[in-house]
Structure formats: structure tokens, C-alpha cells
Amino acid sequence: MLKGNYVSCHQRCNFGVWVRLEAILVVAILASISLGALAQEPTAYSLRAEVDQRAGEIERQVVAWRRDIHEHPELGNREFRTASLVADHLVQLGMDVRTEVAHTGVVATLRGGHPGPVVALRADMDALPVVEQVDVPFASKERTIYNGRDVGVMHACGHDNHVAILMGVADVLASVREELPGSVKFIFQPAEEGAPEGERGGAELMLEEGAFENPTPEAVFGLHVGPGTVGHMSYRSGSTMASSDGLRITVRGRQTHGAVPWGGVDPIVVSAQIVLGLQTVASRQLPVTRTPSIITIGSIHGGVRGNIIPDEVELVGTIRTFDSDVRTEIHQRVRQTAEQIAASAGAAAEVFISNGYPVTVNDPTLTAQMLPTLQRVAGDTPVMIQPQMTVAEDFSYFQQQVPGLFFFLGVTPNGLDPDRVPGNHSPLFFADEGALVVGVRALANLAVDYMTR
């Protein structure tokens, strides 16, 4: 033991050797850490380079898939042709493939050559009951029966792009499977726009039928095309898209002659008061600085003649919010407002609210971790912060199970104003195919970067 400043020659020699050995050991440890990091980084860099190269090589095939799917659109729970096209492609890539998940959904697993995390990627497959008005050679001429009516069918929301992009991602990642440190689940989902009347479908049913099982992913990524400069991407951390709940109010009065309104109770006047009263829920009963909310009545039905006051009127609408607590409160206030306005006039109001899609919430931690990936894919193009959107997405069900990131890809042709072009769900919605390869690179790189992070 060393005491004071006294050290013998023998002790000094041993001490010097010990110091030198300790220094050598520290250097060796640091070197091993540095070499390990360097060994991993080239793997990540080489994977990214291969992904980007392969995405460019397959771009023409992705465009061809998109045009084929666009020309042959199918409504929710009826995506038989699309699902078959997807499943055949995934089987050819050597994946484990499940079909008929939630009616027509396809789930496939690509297992990498090395152990690691599981990542899920999702695309929705369904079209809308819309007659296409876009003048392109592959425009849809499909018609079908929807809820008892003969309708046209069109990929007016752009899901054809989503399917083609994810098919391309599957091809790209399968080509580097031996280098992947983990696995990727590919989820091709039906009925995002909603199932036909009397049926269930979409993300919620896919999860019930095991879409996230064997193996279970740690994170899920998805995208949506829409108005925006072609190839530009945007995102938002936290609450991004609104919840969507159905609203149906039946107002019951008492029928009488239109010339003698005091002889009964007029449900039409009461309904008009309810429509106006509901607007005060969002503007006067809830703190407007906390979070936006919307109550819309989109359909009113009542009566058969102008001189007959009917017995009842039906109001149909939608409720949109960005906060789960506000969602609960707004439901209670809608019921209270409608019922009490009706009661004040001697009528009665029955309020039915059907819970629809939850709020789409991008996990803040995951979003921050993966933003550099989107920025790298974008290159010199800035990745913009997306304002909250009052439309809804059932991708939100996946995000309730694991952290998720849902981002947006612009498909407006160069030279056109994204704020003025026809948007999603329009019969004139047009997607520039130049954005497809960006979507392939973005989803593929998100998967690779998550696995190698």
C-alpha cells in the first residue's frame, strides 16, 4: 500500500507497468467500440445505397402496377383482383403470405438474414364509388353495386399509388433480405374507406384476425398521397388526423296540416334549431384554443309534401376531434343540445353516435427518430410540417397497438397549384407518377433505418 510520497523502486516499477497496462487496455476497449461502430455504419450505408439503387431500377414496374390497379379499382371488402395481384407478387418474392385477412387483406412477412426488430409497413387497397373524369388511357370504367345502387368505381383517394409503392418496397427489401437485421411485415389492407353496410372491415378487423401476430412488430409506417408538389413529403408529430364518428339524430314531432302548424309539433323547425345549436358546441361550449373540433350535418330527410308537417325528421352527420377527452365530451354535449332543444318545443330527439376511427397520432419519439430518414430521402427538398387534418384514417388502429408514423406524399404535377387542384375523393383527382419512386425509397429506408438504428 502506498503511503504519503514514499514509493520504493520496486513499487514505482510495478506502478508504471500497471499504468501502462491500464492505458493499453483503455485504448483497446475504445478501439473495439470504434471498430464495432464502423463495422455497423458501412452496413447501414451499403443497405441504403442498395435500396435507393433498386428503387430506381424498379420504378417502371411500380408505375405499371399502379396503372393496372387504377384501371381495375375495387370497393372495400371486394378487393379480390387487387389482393390476388399482391399475394402472387409476395409469394414470388419468397415471403410467408396470409390471404383473406379481414375478408380480402394480405399480410406477408419478409425475414431478414440476421436477427433484429420487426417493422410493419401498410398500404390500403380500396377505391371509392366515384365515376372517374380524368382523361388518361388507364382511366377506370368499372361499375358495381354499392349498398344497393349502381355506381362507378375510381381510385379517387389514391390508394392505387399506395399499393404499387408497397409492392415496390417488398421487391426492394426482398433483394437485400440476407443483409437485413430484422423482419418486415407487409400489410395490404382492405376497406380503409369503410365497409359496406352490414359488414365489418379495415384495420380494426385485420388486427382482430392477427395481422400483428407471429411476429409482432415494434413500429408501423404508412403514407398517403394527396395535393402537394410532386415528390415532396410532409409529416406531423402527435395528433395528425381527426377521429371520425357518425351522428344520426331522429327528431319526432306530431304531424299536422301545413296551414295549421299549431295543430301539431313541427320537427322540421326543431331540426333547423338543432343544426344551428350544434354549431355552438364547438364554438361556445368547448375551449377553442385547446384543440379544433367539427360537427357537420350532411343530410336531412323529412316530409313528403309542402303542405304536410311530418311526424319526424332524420339528421345525419359527422363529428371530428383531435383529442380523446374532447371526443368523449363533445359526444355528451351533442346529445344534451339536441335533446333539450327538441324538448323545449314539445318534440323528442333520439341521438345515436357511432364510434368511428380514432385520432391518428404519430408517436413523438418515433417521429423524431425517423425524421432524418425522410430528410435524407428528400435530399435538398425540405420535409414540411403538415397542419392537422380533419379527415380521418384507420391507420390509427395500428398506432394504438405500436408506435407509428404516418406521413404524406405530394402528387400534384409541377406547374400546378396544390391548393387549387382537385383533391382526394374528387372524380378529377390526378396523381403524378413521378412521386412513386420517392414513396418506395421513403418506406424502404424507414424500415432499414429502424432495423439498423
Domain boundaries, the chain: 50-242+365-452, 244-357
pLDDT of residue 23: 47
> What is the per-residue pLDDT for 44?
80
Confidence (pLDDT) at 45:
86
pLDDT of residue 121: 99
Is there a catalytic annotation at residue 357? Answer: yes
Rounded to the nearest 5 degrees, what angle is found at the Cα of 407, between the Cα atoms of 244 and 231?
A: 130
Q: What is the per-residue pLDDT for 289?
A: 87
pLDDT in tens, 199-238: 999 999 999 999 999 999 999 999 999 999 999 999 999 9
Check whether the bond before 215 is cis (ω within 30° of 0).
yes
Catalytic residue among 59, 79, 312, 433: 433
Q: What top-level class would CATH report for the domain 50-242+365-452?
A: alpha beta
Please report how the helices 159-174 and 436-452 are oriented relative to each other, as an axis angle in degrees rounded to 10.
Answer: 50
Residue that has been written with the C-alpha cell 412488430 in this structure: 217
Residue 202 CA to residue 163 CA, distance in Å, equals 15
Closest CA to 164 of 240, 72, 48: 72
Distance, in Å, from the CA atom of 407 to the CA atom of 223, rounded to the nearest integer, reads 5
pLDDT < 70 stretches in the chain: 1-42
Rounded to an integer, what distance in angstroms lies between the CA atom of residue 191 and that of residue 102?
Answer: 9
Q: What is the 3-class SS of 309-351, one letter each residue?
A: ECCEEEEEEEEEECCHHHHHHHHHHHHHHHHHHHHHCCCEEEE
Q: Identify the CATH assignment for 244-357 out of 1.10.3720.10, 3.40.50.1980, 3.50.50.60, 3.30.70.360.
A: 3.30.70.360
Instruction: Check for a shared fold between 50-242+365-452 and 244-357.
Output: no
Residue 61 CB-density burial (10 A; 0-12 exposed, 13-18 middle, 19+ buried): middle
Q: What distance in Å separates the CA atoms of residue 314 and residue 250, rounded to the nearest whole number?
A: 5
Catalytic residue among 357, 393, 397, 450: 357
- Whether 79 is a known active-site residue: answer no
C-alpha cell at 255: 304531424
Exposed (0-12), middle (13-18) or buried (19+): which is 63, by Cβ within 10 Å? middle
Indicate whether this model's pTM tops 0.75. Answer: yes
CB 121 within 8 A of CB 166: yes
pLDDT for res 51: 97
Nearest of 106, 103, 100, 68 to residue 86 by alpha carbon: 106
Length of the chain: 453
Query: Looking at residue 172, what is its pLDDT?
Result: 98
